[in-house]
Structure 1
């Protein structure tokens, strides 16, 4: 019985160590990827960088939900207005200057319906979008 308990405890410790290693590795990978993204950004004008950061702050507060697709993320804005439309156009303009490899799809639903912005076209660009846009900070709606 003691052997069984010790074996179980040993497995628990081993699994805990593996989980910790995986978490540390994931965080290290994210840090390296963020650094590469920052170095790859082609946007150099300080005023443009400042405005892009302002747009990140403004737009992300208005996101209703983030939808994960196999190769991209889609940000949905349920309460669309002319301000969001202008900000989204400006955001895409700056992001295209910064990251010319990134693909954008801007969709306007009929009759003043939601607007969605999809970014990415591969698993690699999807991961970059997740990290750069800090989508993990967006509040997800509660499951119903």
Structure 2
């Protein structure tokens, strides 16, 4: 049985400290992105394959899932290549991502 989760962000799901960290991560992710690819149900964002970037992306996922439980996340680390963050979800999620993350 699948569970329908509405596309709605709940910023209050994060503490003030978590929100501050989240905003810092978003700023860094915006500056460091190398490429964006459109997917049928979301976007894939490419980042440099640096250990520090992988950790930041994992931190972002751990915080983002609190306020946006409808999103699916996938980190793909290519052998000798970049890191891809896939942000996907149900119908309407692409529009949400474009409006919410102005760097997509």
| TM-score (norm. length: structure 2) | 0.84
CA radius of gyration, larger in: 1
Report the Cα distance in structure 2 between the residues aligned to 1:49 and 1:104, rounded to whole angstroms. 19
- Is the counterpart of residue 87 in structure 1 residue 56 in structure 2? yes
Q: Of residues 78, 84, 101 in structure 1, which corresponds to 2:70?
A: 101
Between 1 and 2, higher relative CO (CA 8 Å, sep ≥ 6) is seen in 2
Q: Which runs of 5+ in 2 are unaligned?
A: 1-6
Q: Is 1:74–1:118's contact at 8 Å kept on the other side of the alignment?
A: yes
Q: Deviations over 1:4-40 (max 9, x none)?
A: xxxxxxxxxxxxxxxxxxxxxxxxxxxxxxxx845x3
Q: Of residues 5, 13, 22 in structure 2, which corresponds to 1:52?
A: 22
Structure having the larger proportion of residues in helix: 1
**Aligned CA-pair RMSD:** 1.7
What secondary structure, in the 3-state scheme, does the structure 1 residue paired with 2:56 have?
A: helix
Q: Which runs of 5+ in 1 are unaligned?
A: 1-35, 137-144
Give structure 1 regions of 4+ aligned residues with deviation exceeding 2 angstroms.
40-44
Report the Cα distance in structure 1 between the residues aligned to 2:8 and 2:27, rounded to whole angstroms. 19
| TM-score (norm. length: structure 1) | 0.62
